[in-house]
Amino acid sequence: MTRLLLLAVLFASSVHAQYPAKPVRVLVGYAAGSSTDVVGRVMADRLGAYWKQSVIVENRGGAAGNLAADAVAKAPGDGYTLLFAQNGLAISAAALPNLAYKAETDLLPLAPVAATPHILIVAPEFAAKNVQELIARARAEPGKLAYASSGVGNSDHLCAELFNLMAGIQAIHVPYKGGAPAATDVMGGRIAYYFAGMPVGLPLSKSGRARALGTTGKERFAGAADIPTIAEQGLPEYQATLWQGFFAPAALDAALGERIARDVQAVLALPATREKLEGAGVALFTDNQANFRRFFFAEIEKWRNVVRKTNLKLE
């Protein structure tokens, strides 16, 4: 090893050892109070305590999370600007070829955090008391019921599209900039149904401000074992999961990326973090960085196949 190369390695090691030496920004592409925002803020708080440095969440809602993703893709690769994203990132990469950035090459998957089913909610006074009654009403009034999402192409949108397809119903899609405003209009009776993320929908269900008709997992969710799955209610093949994790600009040094990924895993292993996330209705997705990269690229390919087979248009 040449003296110059040795000095470069020693300098990089010193920089990584000092990281983070200043506040870290975490961009979330959805409105405050959305499921991804709730989980992102828990992780920012716990990472801040672990690093003994400020970790600031910045909401850049709109365009199904792509405004935030584009900003991070173009940010310096120094570890001080990170993205906390969800399924919508892979869906957009698969279905929107004209984005201003390319997820596969401009973003680095760092660490997974959560993988949780969605929860189908309606207003407390909504006539349907279960999934079969919702389907029956939608079939009786084709194209009249409206369903919400946190943005075109996001996980909750595709949950509803899959549900509508498998149930053989037609409904009107109303996209919002986040899960919180979507849920607000459902509770107010302006929107019929919404496949909310657990951190948004489960507290509303438990408080009586919304009624839960079902969850989207293969099995009942441990934090809501009294709520049947949609698969139990006449759609046995129906299943969907909301996953969330950290990403960075692709220019991030590999060693620093591995360091951040290890720190995220260390924070997730802390009982206080697990208690906080599980209390918010989140199921952890603990895996290492290398597997998360493979998972992310496989997700993009999965949605590309869905787009090809269904001619799905998200633009």
List, for residues 102-129, the tens digit of each pLDDT value: 999 999 999 999 999 999 999 999 999 9
- Look-up: residue for tokens 């498998």? 166
**pLDDT of the residue at 305:** 83
**pLDDT of the residue at 264:** 96
**pLDDT of the residue at 311:** 76
Domains and CATH numbers, the chain: 3-116+242-310 (3.40.190.150), 117-233 (3.40.190.10)
**pLDDT of the residue at 14:** 52
**pLDDT of the residue at 15:** 53
**pLDDT of the residue at 8:** 46
d(CA 148, CA 168): 18
Per the structure block, which two tokens stand in for 163? 């549900």
**pLDDT of the residue at 303:** 85
CA angle 147/177/165 to nearest 5° reads 30
User: Residues of the chain whose pLDDT is less than 70?
Assistant: 1-16, 286, 315
**pLDDT of the residue at 212:** 98
